[in-house]
Chain A
């Protein structure tokens, strides 16, 4: 066991320490190399750059949008899958399938097969109705990204919510029915509160992963049209501007942010588990 823990620590600690180390130096590999200590200057420059706040906004929009879509549709899909139906097993496997597709692949499929303005499926549908095809990734880039990323995360949300639905005591629903609650009231007063813990868990896990979304942006818009998230900004600083120091400072911010989110959400889950 000890070697495993050691390996894990090295695995996690070495990159972390290197990030912290570089964030304090002015290091530009192709433009003069390591130019020595600069204190906290990288940190100040990262947040005062004109791209910082737009990147924060984009991140919030994408994370929030995906959470919203995956939870609303996740609840609906879970409700549907909870009904007894023919071919239940196969349908469930199909619903989970997108989760196993690599992000790069799914983003490319969406970009080229669905959202392409001349040959995409959507373009054909739009034309069939006599409308002008939407140039998805240029005109509504954030919406497009939310669509692509939601498609990947919906199965995860559905799966967790489905198990939560299955644990709902049917006598509670029957009691509510006898108490005069119509289907809508039963959903909002009984089912939804029962799902609250599962929803919190979905939010927690997805937020942490969504903050790090990269491949989907890389292969679709390449960060153009206002789709530059914090993660993407850091990538650009390091690899495109060749400024490792500045990028590392961004990385440290990202670590702090992710930890705050995790801590905050852990508390909610903890409270939820107490009941």
Chain B
């Protein structure tokens, strides 16, 4: 079991309030991703849940039990750190067995669990090596191994993949999702990476300056962002946001339109623009188009076969069904 409830949890470092009162419920077995700009308090929130920081107010409940004052080791949570935090002088086997050893589990059971974890994570051949003799991806797996042997109520990950190269990230991303499907244990995952958030999460929590801006499934957030911030934050490339008279003509302070929801034509359309830089990804092409009356260039996604050149004139038309409208406070207009 691993149902985690935050009830008006606050955190200040001295004078600075990093997390104003915040409510959040994480259901058992859910894969929750925290995203937000740098410094918004994602790590702090995770560390509060882990018990590595003391809350300044509010209550944390794990499976209904008040865990606010419970020391980290007793919360039944396991954490995977960005730096892996492996013990450099211990072999992989000892690293993975460390929490079991601290729990004074008998040697045979320790060995069995280490073996099982090593099997799952493809570490069997490396059990006698030191962390220093492993690659980044292998170290990451050892850190995960050390977390899973404890059979925790929930896993906490703080940007676990940010030290890996792009190819390895994709692999580890799948492995972690796979692990979640298999263990069905609650996972809380902090990341900067759009793709990680969109592909792995059951539920995304978007944070800004310690506030929760929106909570929902990846597609919910993608299709119905509650405000301008979420609209601009979720999705890569970003949603195009347009204000001024054009937005006003749609009865909104700001309108948003995703790159894939703009139709391109060389004959007719709503906005006339000039093609700037284009990014060819093979399957798709992203054009940056500067339009009259719109300050920022718009990003437009078209199929890979469309051939437009720098300086070409094009007409763009937003798909009215997928137009997002926001009022002057940045909130979505239904």
Contact = CB atoms under 8 A, between A and B. Distances in A.
A178 interface: yes
A177 B72 contact: yes
A176 interface: yes
B18 interface: no
A177 B86 CA distance: 13
B81 A174 contact: yes
Contacts of B51: 178
Contacts of A180: 73, 99, 102-103
B52 A179 contact: no
Interface centre among A171, A181, A194 (most CB of B within 10 A): A171
A220 B102 CA distance: 50
B78 to A, nearest CB: 7
Given A172-B85, A275-B89, A179 B98 contact: yes
B271 interface: no
A196 B88 CA distance: 12
Given A175-B81, A178-B50, A178-B52, A189 B98 contact: yes
A178 B78 contact: yes
Interface centre among B77, B86, B89 (most CB of A within 10 A): B89
B79 interface: yes
Given A179-B99, A179-B102, A275 B132 contact: yes
8 contacts: A174-B72, A177-B71, A178-B50, A178-B73, A181-B98, A181-B102, A190-B87, A275-B130
Nearest to A186: B102
Contact of B85 (A174, A181, A193, A275): A174
Interface string A191-224: 0011010000000000000000000000000000
A185 B83 CA distance: 21
A169 interface: yes
Chain A interface size, under 10 / 10 to 19 / 20 to 34 / 35 or more = 10 to 19
Interface in B150-173: 150
Given A177-B72, A178-B78, A275 B102 contact: no
Given A180-B102, A189-B98, A175 B85 contact: yes
Q: Which 7 A-B pairs have the closest CB atoms?
A: A179-B99, A175-B85, A180-B102, A180-B73, A171-B85, A193-B89, A171-B81
Interface in B87-117: 87-89, 98-99, 102-103
B226 interface: no
Contacts of B10: none
Contacts of A171: 81-83, 85
B87 A172 contact: yes
A193 B82 CA distance: 22
B88 to A, nearest CB: 7
B72 A178 contact: yes
Contacts of A190: 87
Nearest to A193: B89
Contacts of B150: 179
Contact of B83 (A169, A179, A189, A193): A169
A169 B86 CA distance: 10
A41 B77 CA distance: 73
Interface centre among B52, B82, B86, B132 (most CB of A within 10 A): B52
Given A181-B102, A185-B102, A275-B132, A176 B52 contact: no
A193 B94 CA distance: 14
Interface string B113-141: 00000000000000000101000000000
Contacts of A194: 88-89
B146 interface: yes
Nearest to B51: A178
A194 B85 CA distance: 13
A169 B85 contact: yes
Contacts of B71: 177
A168 to B, nearest CB: 11
Contact of A176 (B50, B77, B87): B87
Interface in A161-177: 169, 171-172, 174-177
A175 B89 CA distance: 15
Interface in B62-84: 71-73, 77-79, 81-83
A196 B87 CA distance: 14
Contacts of A181: 73, 98, 102
A275 B130 CA distance: 9
A178 B79 contact: yes
A129 to B, nearest CB: 42
Interface string B3-37: 00000000000000000000000000000000000
Interface centre among A172, A179, A185, A196 (most CB of B within 10 A): A179
A189 to B, nearest CB: 7
A178 B150 CA distance: 11
A172 B131 CA distance: 13
Given A178-B72, A181-B102, 4 more contacts: A175-B79, A177-B52, A178-B73, A180-B73
